[in-house]
Amino acid sequence: MQDGARFGCPVVGASTAEQVIPKKFRAMGWEVGKKPSQGMCPICVDVMKFERNQKEQTMKTQTVKTQTPERHTVVTGIESVRTVPTLQVVESTLVVKSDPPRAEPPREMSRDDRRIIFAKISEVYVNEEVGYADGWTDHKIAVDLGVPHAWVAKTRDDMFGPAGDNKQIKELIAEFEKLDGKIKAVDTEIDQLDDKFKVLVAEQAQLRVKMDAIRKQVGLPH
C-alpha cells in the first residue's frame, strides 16, 4: 500500500483514513495489502486465523489416521499373540491304534518229546495198581524234563495207565486223616467239657446265693 492510498475491508467496508501510514493500521490489527481491496479488518483477520487453525487441525488428524501402523503378530511357542484379539493355536494329536499283539499258540508235543517223556515214565512208573514209585508224580516229571504238565499226563494216561497215588503219598494221607480224626474228637470233648463247666459254674452261683442268705440269718460274716 502507498502512503495516503485508500484501502478497506471487502466485508466491513472501505476506510476513510487516507493519510494514515500502513503500519498504523497493522498496529490496530488490520491486515494491509498492496491494493485497497486486499485489506482486512481485525474481525476478519481473527475469523481467517480461526478457519486456518481448524483446517490445519483437520489435516493433522487425517495424517495421523493415515500413518497408523499395522498390527503385527508375534508367535511364541504354540500361541499366536496379537494386540486384539488373542489367537491360540491348539495342537491336535493323531492317535494311531495298533492291533494288540497276538498270543503265540502253545507248542505242540513232537515225536522226540513224546519219546523222552515215555522213557522217563518207564523208569518211575510201577504199574496201574500202584502208579508211580515213591516221590514221583506227573508234576515232578514235567519239572525234571522241562516240559508242560499236560504232556506228561497225556503220555502216562495213553501209554501206562492212571497216575494213582504212590505208597509214600498214601501213607502220608492216611496218617493225616488219622490225626485229623483225633483232633476232631478232642475238639468235641472240649465242647462237651465247656458245657459241663458252664453248668458247674451256674450251680456254684446258686449255692453261693443260698449260703449268703443263711449267713445273713444267723449273723455270720460274708
Give the per-residue pLDDT at 92: 55
Assess if residue 75 is contained within a domain.
no
Closest listed residue to residue 108, CA positions, set 157, 142, 151 = 151
Structural domain count of the chain? 3
Residue 192 has pLDDT above 50, yes or no: yes
pLDDT in tens, 82-103: 444 555 555 556 555 666 777 7
d(CA 132, CA 143) in angstroms, rounded, equals 15
The Cα-based distances of 202 to 156, 196, 215 in angstroms read 65, 10, 20
Range of the domain at 205: 180-222
Residue where one domain finishes, among candidates 21, 43, 62: 62
Strands (DSSP E) contained in the chain are 8-9, 13-14, 74-76, 79-81, 87-88, 125-127, 131-132
Assess if residue 70 is contained within a domain.
no
| pTM as predicted | 0.34
Residue where one domain finishes, among candidates 62, 83, 103: 62
